[in-house]
Chains A and B, each alone.
Chain A
Amino acid sequence: MELSVNLTLSAGSFTALTGPSGSGKSTLLRILAGLESADGEIKVSQKRWLANNKSLPPQQRDVGLLFQDYALFEHMSVRQNLLFVQKDPALADALLESTGLSELANRRPAYLSGGQKQRVALCRALMRRPKLLLLDEPLSALDPAMRLTLQHEILKLHREFGTTTLMVSHDPAEIYRMAQRVIRLENGKITADGTPGDVLLKRSGSQKFSFEGEVLEIQKRDAVYVAVVAIGQQIVEVVTDTRTAKNLQIGQQVTVATKAFAPVIVTE
């Protein structure tokens, strides 16, 4: 697959990068960080990071990078992880304070939960006050509640440090909550670029209220067929006619849509 991308990010913006796995999202981040070689040009506020086959090594780029697997320095305490990057105790303590890690400062990464580890990684990435903050699916290994908390913390620090942030994510809710712009990458090419509303909301045809789901089971109840469909974290039952039911297969990807009436939101 050839990755070919032409992209301008405005300073201080928060952009989400989405698309199927293997579409080049991580590779793009690694090229920006200088961990992977590429042809072309990367310019960050007048400074050329990549031009005419001359590539600035990762050490000389102002980049912060978050991995899905945290990649902490296992032999150092939380605080040492931060200070190893930059000998700036005041900044380290401030970061630990604002992410609620102060009490864990002397612990080793092995004794932290996933959410705590990713917080440490976030603080570590900010120790050099990077211009560009790259987040490679940072929250996909965490449970939903922890994701929510960390989304807020990432946003808070993104604003505080004024970084230009590029985050790989598969979660539409996460993207909608965090990003001002979404770029969809498919087969190494940009296939969509716009606000989360433009890119993520489905507005094709008349199916204004529709979900992608997977058929789990097809049951026959009296005269009708009922398909059990998994949509995100939810499982729903949908009544179908005999002809549709006969064509459905277990595991099939389907769209569940309603056309006739407007959906209502019920709160309890």
Chain B
Amino acid sequence: MSSIAWTPFWLSFKLAFVTTAVLFVLALPLAWWLAQTRTRLKPFLEALVSLPIVLPPSVLGFYLLWAFAPDSPLGAFLKERLGLELVFSFPGLVVASVIYSFPFMLQPLQSGFESLNRHMLEAAYVAGKTGWQTLLFVALPNIKPALLSALIVTFAHTVGEFGVVLMVGGSIPGETKVASVAIYEYVEIMDYKNAHIYSAIMVGISFAVLTAVYLFNRHHRRRLGGA
């Protein structure tokens, strides 16, 4: 193993990091709202944001590719007004990943919020705290395990993404060629040695990350008194 090209890994983790950060900001208020709302639209909204779990990645990738294409209305608008080209580019990967990983961020946060004692949140309101203050200083600190799962699973899910990334991003070295795509290409050209190295690294990193999550959750549960 003379020299491993680390760029695909770096790209994978950059993509996962940006996606996780963007998704946290987007999903947090929605999860908070969904956990408290009594609207009849709730099941429809929940179904909509959960679609990426059941849809084949190629379906999502195809729609995104079609929507981002420079000759589509959305693609044209983005290119002319914002100077954004989302097809075969890193920003396009981020947008695709955000949509694809949305439920993985939303669902743990929402069920975390739903499991909170409603009286505790009401105590904060009566104490004069706004909805935002209650969310940030009361609700979030009390769903730490759910918060951590949301962040880690989103991150891991984005690192492990393949179908959507390949369709929307293609395989441009240094721009959209992430680790999973790189492995696919090594297998295609029958370079099993590098495919093995890359795959082993992915397995190692993923295992380490998930172990860290479960260790933290066990520790946290004990500290809260074994509940």
Interface residues of A (CB under 8 A from B): 33-35, 57-61, 63-65, 67, 69, 71-75, 84-86, 110-111, 121, 124-125, 127-128
- Given A35-B125, A71-B123, A110-B224, A59–B117 Cβ distance below 8 Å? no
B227 contact set on A, CB distance < 8 A: 110
- Given A58-B126, A128-B127, A75–B141 Cβ distance below 8 Å? yes
Asked if B40 lies at the interface with its beta carbon under 8 angstroms from chain A, I say: no
A59→B119 contact, CB < 8 A: no
B125→A58 contact, CB < 8 A: yes
A128 contact set on B, CB distance < 8 A: 127-128
A interface footprint on B111-141 (CB within 8 Å = 1, 0 otherwise): 0000001011011111111100000011001
> What residue of chain B has the Cβ atom nearest to residue A109's Cβ?
B225
Interface residues of B (CB under 8 A from A): 117, 119-120, 122-130, 137-138, 141-142, 144, 224-225, 227
- Pairs A–B under 8 Å by Cβ, sample size 28: A33-B122, A33-B126, A34-B125, A35-B125, A35-B126, A57-B125, A58-B125, A59-B128, A60-B128, A65-B122, A65-B123, A65-B126, A67-B123, A69-B117, A71-B120, A73-B120, A73-B123, A73-B124, A74-B224, A75-B141, A84-B137, A85-B128, A110-B225, A110-B227, A111-B225, A124-B127, A125-B126, A128-B127
A69→B127 contact, CB < 8 A: no
Identify which of A57, A59, A63, A72 gathers the most chain B CB atoms within 10 Å of its CB.
Answer: A59
A75→B127 contact, CB < 8 A: no
> What residue of chain A has the Cβ atom nearest to residue B128's Cβ?
A59
A61 contact set on B, CB distance < 8 A: 126
User: Roughly how many angstroms separate A86 CA and B124 CA in the complex, as a whole number?
Assistant: 11
User: Roughly how many angstroms separate A61 CA and B141 CA in the complex, as a whole number?
Assistant: 26
> What residue of chain B has the Cβ atom nearest to residue A76's Cβ?
B141
> What residue of chain A has the Cβ atom nearest to residue B138's Cβ?
A73
User: Roughly how many angstroms separate A59 CA and B120 CA in the complex, as a whole number?
Assistant: 14
Chain A to chain B: the 7 pairs with minimum beta-carbon distance, closest first: A71-B119, A110-B225, A85-B127, A75-B141, A58-B125, A67-B119, A71-B123
18 extra A-B contacts, CB within 8 A, seeds A35-B125, A57-B125: A33-B122, A33-B126, A34-B125, A58-B122, A58-B126, A59-B125, A65-B122, A65-B126, A67-B123, A71-B123, A72-B123, A73-B120, A73-B124, A73-B142, A74-B224, A75-B141, A85-B127, A127-B127
Q: Smallest CB–CB gap between B155 and chain A, Å?
A: 24
Q: Smallest CB–CB gap between A31 and chain B, Å?
A: 13
Q: Smallest CB–CB gap between B119 and chain A, Å?
A: 4
User: Roughly how many angstroms separate A72 CA and B126 CA in the complex, as a whole number?
Assistant: 13
Identify which of A84, A86, A124, A127 gathers the most chain B CB atoms within 10 Å of its CB.
Answer: A84
User: Roughly how many angstroms separate A211 CA and B31 CA in the complex, as a whole number?
Assistant: 53
User: Roughly how many angstroms separate A69 CA and B129 CA in the complex, as a whole number?
Assistant: 20
A63→B126 contact, CB < 8 A: yes
> What residue of chain B has the Cβ atom nearest to residue A70's Cβ?
B119
User: Roughly how many angstroms separate A139 CA and B142 CA in the complex, as a whole number?
Assistant: 25
A58 contact set on B, CB distance < 8 A: 122, 125-126
User: Roughly how many angstroms separate A111 CA and B226 CA in the complex, as a whole number?
Assistant: 11
B122 contact set on A, CB distance < 8 A: 33, 35, 58, 65, 67, 71
User: Roughly how many angstroms separate A84 CA and B127 CA in the complex, as a whole number?
Assistant: 9
Q: Smallest CB–CB gap between A62 and chain B, Å?
A: 9
User: Roughly how many angstroms separate A65 CA and B127 CA in the complex, as a whole number?
Assistant: 9
Q: Smallest CB–CB gap between B112 and chain A, Å?
A: 13
Q: Smallest CB–CB gap between B125 and chain A, Å?
A: 4
User: Roughly how many angstroms separate A33 CA and B123 CA in the complex, as a whole number?
Assistant: 10
A59→B123 contact, CB < 8 A: no
